[in-house]
């Protein structure tokens, strides 16, 4: 398993469980989390990420996520995904993630677009 694959599996587990310890194992203490590239107020630091994670939580079992690694070189990974919600909406996503030595995201940026 590559570092990027391990990161995505932890991310999905954090998303599924909303467990603070799993979130902290997914992001570095000083990580920056951008919900979109021009995010004027990204979550900076693990405590801000944990708060944001809970503020924007999806109901358990309300979504599925399919993904694959587009590219992984050095400490940077590009991940493409599709999130489908039980209520019917589907989003295409692209993540650019820089990983630290422990495989945690230290810089995370997401692009997403809703399918019609």
Calculate the dihedral angle through the C-alpha atoms of 106, 75, 10, 53, rounding to the nearest 10 degrees: 30
Close Cβ partners of 101 (under 8 Å, ≥ 6 residues apart)? none
69-72's contacts with Cβ under 8 Å and 24+ in sequence apart are: 69/2, 69/4, 69/5, 69/8, 70/94, 72/2, 72/3, 72/4
Q: For position 59, which CATH number holds?
A: 3.10.450.50
**Tell me, what's the pLDDT at 38?**
86
In this model, does residue 36 exceed pLDDT 90?
no
In this model, does residue 30 exceed pLDDT 80?
yes
* H/E run at residue 31: strand 27-34
What's the whole-number mean pLDDT along residues 81-86? 97
Coil, strand or helix: which one is 16? helix
Percent of the chain with pLDDT over 70: 100
Q: Beta strand pairing status for 90-99 and 43-44?
A: unpaired
In this model, does residue 116 exceed pLDDT 90?
no
**Tell me, what's the pLDDT at 37?**
84
State which residues form the domain around 37.
3-114
Coil, strand or helix: which one is 23? helix
Q: How many domains does the chain have?
A: 1
């Amino acid at each position: 398993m590559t570092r990027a694959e391990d990161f995505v599996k932890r991310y999905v587990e954090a998303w599924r469980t909303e467990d603070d310890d799993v979130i902290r194992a997914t992001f570095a203490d000083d990580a920056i989390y951008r919900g979109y590239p021009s995010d004027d107020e990204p979550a900076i630091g693990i405590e801000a990420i944990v708060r944001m994670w809970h503020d924007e939580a999806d109901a358990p079992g309300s979504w599925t996520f399919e993904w694959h690694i587009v590219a992984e070189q050095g400490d940077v990974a590009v991940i493409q995904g599709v999130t489908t919600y039980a209520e019917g909406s589907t989003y295409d996503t692209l993540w650019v993630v820089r990983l630290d030595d422990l495989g945690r995201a230290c810089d995370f940026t997401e692009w997403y677009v809703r399918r019609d």
